[in-house]
């Protein structure tokens, strides 16, 4: 492993790519500390601390949004929106491509069609930046987190204009940085920037663990004993291993290529595999389910508070209080509904991305078939059955990983910004991006006859991965 890291810096081209990627991340973290004009940063920091303790309302929603912004949303910096507007726009257009026939035809045009879709995605990202920026600045103003001189009059409009412009420019600049990493760096720039924002919260989590550690075995109230620390570390390693397994797991379907006779030579006849990922939907089901579940819980808590303030003995107050209590984050109904939504979005996203009919047509056009199945509808039916079964398993694994942070927060009293590294959206994103970077570096090393991360200990010029037959 250490030799593989050393080999990275021996190759000039690969070394330049790695240094360029690190330089982009340094620029990203510098922008993290550039605040917006007019925001009272000290008051905002105190409000963020109070909101972090509110696990049933806006505080949890703020913590969830901070996963993707590296915490800069709570500090109101120019990179406060992070890269999420661009990712959201990309997801929207991916879904629309399966619904709108015009977008489907544009996608089939090749590179020119992809460039057109990319332009529309960027324009949609700008619109989302303006909308989300205006909503966030409006929230700051209603909570008196803006300096007094920017609360009214023409200064208020200057606050909105400068704030929206700064947030939009910061998000678009991050989008541009991601594209530069794709061209001159390791690649997958948007995901790397998103991962950097998530990992930037690791020091805060470690600091909390150190401050809360109690040398006694069981610990006391609000402290973490030796047993609790060991359980926390073991749970972290177990979830990391499970996330890696569910990310790389595949269901391989044997594919036989038909033989073609041309003159006296016979071509084809090779046997290979059609890999189907167990978790083809990736982290998207958790993102959709968690986001949609945040708003009902926050809305019900707000309605219950309003009803109790008006008339605490009324029927409406009782109903809203009951619903808010049962939809509180970590409650049994909340967990059950979240699991069901993860299953729904897993099947939905897999259906959007994979089409058994199209896969069957592509196999037939390339002269390949599944042994024992006739090409055409029978093959499509078989692929649909297999995809449905593996999606069920993948969705179950996603549901387990998704609810672990909530259970740890509610049952063990560990803050969410610490428990989020035991599962959930952020962990899956970090694991998938880390595996992608390792695969890219592995491919670059092996292409230049260097030992990679998957080396079995052979020499640098010899074979690195042996087959089952040796």
What is the per-residue pLDDT across 64-78, written as a single tens digit (0 to 9) for each?
Answer: 666 666 555 556 788
pLDDT at 298 over 90: no
Question: Tokens representing 452?
Answer: 């990679």
State what percent of residues in the chain have pLDDT above 70. Answer: 83
Angle in degrees, 0-180, between the axes of helices 58-69 and 189-199, rounded to the nearest 10 = 130
Question: Tokens representing 359?
Answer: 């896969």
**In whole angstroms, what is the distance from residue 418 CA to residue 235 CA?**
12
> What local confidence, expressed as pLDDT, does residue 435 receive?
85
> What local confidence, expressed as pLDDT, does residue 465 receive?
39
Query: CATH 1.10.3370.10 occupies which residues in the chain?
Result: 1-200, 217-422
> What local confidence, expressed as pLDDT, does residue 69 receive?
61
Which residues on adjacent β-strands are paired with residue 265? 262
Kindly tell me the number of DSSP H helices and DSSP E strands found in the chain: 19, 5
Across 249-273, average pLDDT: 78
Helix (H) or strand (E) holding 51: helix 41-52
Global pTM value: 0.77
Q: Which fold has domain 217-422?
A: Preprotein translocase SecY subunit (1.10.3370)
Radius of gyration of the chain (CA): 26
Higher-confidence position of 51 and 276: 276
Across 313-325, average pLDDT: 75
pLDDT at 394 over 50: yes
Place 103 in a pLDDT band, splitting at 50, 70 and 90: confident
CA 53 to chain centre: 24
**In whole angstroms, what is the distance from residue 316 CA to residue 314 CA?**
5
**In whole angstroms, what is the distance from residue 81 CA to residue 300 CA?**
26
Q: Coil, helix or strand for 462? A: coil
Question: ∠286-326-143 over CA atoms, to 5°?
Answer: 75
Higher-confidence position of 229 and 57: 229
322 — phi, psi (to 5°)?
-65, -45
Q: Which fold has domain 1-200?
A: Preprotein translocase SecY subunit (1.10.3370)
pLDDT at 468 over 50: no
Helix (H) or strand (E) holding 6: helix 2-8
- Strand bridging mode 265-268 / 259-262: antiparallel
Place 444 in a pLDDT band, splitting at 50, 70 and 90: confident
pLDDT at 129 over 50: yes
pLDDT in tens, 186-215: 888 888 888 888 888 788 788 888 888 777
> What local confidence, expressed as pLDDT, does residue 70 receive?
56
Question: Tokens representing 422?
Answer: 């035991």
pLDDT at 392 over 90: yes
CA distances (Å), 142 to each of 56, 60, 333, in order?
Answer: 20, 19, 32
pLDDT at 406 over 90: no
**In whole angstroms, what is the distance from residue 305 CA to residue 312 CA?**
9
Across 212-232, average pLDDT: 73
Helix (H) or strand (E) holding 268: strand 265-268
Work out the end-to-end distance of the chain between its first and last CA atoms, rounded to an integer number of angstroms: 23
């Amino acid at each position: 492993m250490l030799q593989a890291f050393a080999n990275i810096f021996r190759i000039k081209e690969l070394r330049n790519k790695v240094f360029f990627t690190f330089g982009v991340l340094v620029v990203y973290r510098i922008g993290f500390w550039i605040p917006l004009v007019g925001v009272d940063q000290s008051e905002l920091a105190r409000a963020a601390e109070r909101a972090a303790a509110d696990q049933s309302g806006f505080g949890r929603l703020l913590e969830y949004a901070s996963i993707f912004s590296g915490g800069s949303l709570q500090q109101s910096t120019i990179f406060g929106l992070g890269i999420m507007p661009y990712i959201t726009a990309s997801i929207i257009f991916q879904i629309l491509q399966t619904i709108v026939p015009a977008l489907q035809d544009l996608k089939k045009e090749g590179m020119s069609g992809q460039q057109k879709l990319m332009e529309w995605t960027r324009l949609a990202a700008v619109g989302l930046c303006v909308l989300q920026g205006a909503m966030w600045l409006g929230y700051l103003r209603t909570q008196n987190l803006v300096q007094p001189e920017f609360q009214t009059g023409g200064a208020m409009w200057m606050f909105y204009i400068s704030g929206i412009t700064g947030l939009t420019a910061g998000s678009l600049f991050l989008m541009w940085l991601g594209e530069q990493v794709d061209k001159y760096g390791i690649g997958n720039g948007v995901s790397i920037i998103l991962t950097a924002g998530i990992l930037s919260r690791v020091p805060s989590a470690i600091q909390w663990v150190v401050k809360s550690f109690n040398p006694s075995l069981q610990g006391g109230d609000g402290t973490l004993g030796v047993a609790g620390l060991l359980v926390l570390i073991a749970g972290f390693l177990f979830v990391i291993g499970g996330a890696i397994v569910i990310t790389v797991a595949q269901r391989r379907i044997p594919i036989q290529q038909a033989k073609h006779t041309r003159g006296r030579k016979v071509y084809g006849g090779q046997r290979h595999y059609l890999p189907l990922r167990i978790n083809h939907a990736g982290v998207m089901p958790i993102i959709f389910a968690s986001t949609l579940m945040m708003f009902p819980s926050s809305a019900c808590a707000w309605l219950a508070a309003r009803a109790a303030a008006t008339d605490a003995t009324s029927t409406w107050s009782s109903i809203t209080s009951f619903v808010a209590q049962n939809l509180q984050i970590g409650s049994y109904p909340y967990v059950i509904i979240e699991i069901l939504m993860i299953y729904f979005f897993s099947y939905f996203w897999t259906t959007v991305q994979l089409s058994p009919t199209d896969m069957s047509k592509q196999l037939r056009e390339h002269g390949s078939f599944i042994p024992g199945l006739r090409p055409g509808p029978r093959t499509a039916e078989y692929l649909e059955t297999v995809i449905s079964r593996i999606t069920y398993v993948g969705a179950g694994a996603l549901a387990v990983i998704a609810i672990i942070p909530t259970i740890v927060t509610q049952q063990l009293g560990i803050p969410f910004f610490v428990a989020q590294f035991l599962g959930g959206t952020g962990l899956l994103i970090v694991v998938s991006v880390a595996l992608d970077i390792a695969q890219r570096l592995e491919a670059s090393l092996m292409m230049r006859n260097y030992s990679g991360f998957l080396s079995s200990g052979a020499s640098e010029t010899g074979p690195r991965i042996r087959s089952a037959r040796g």
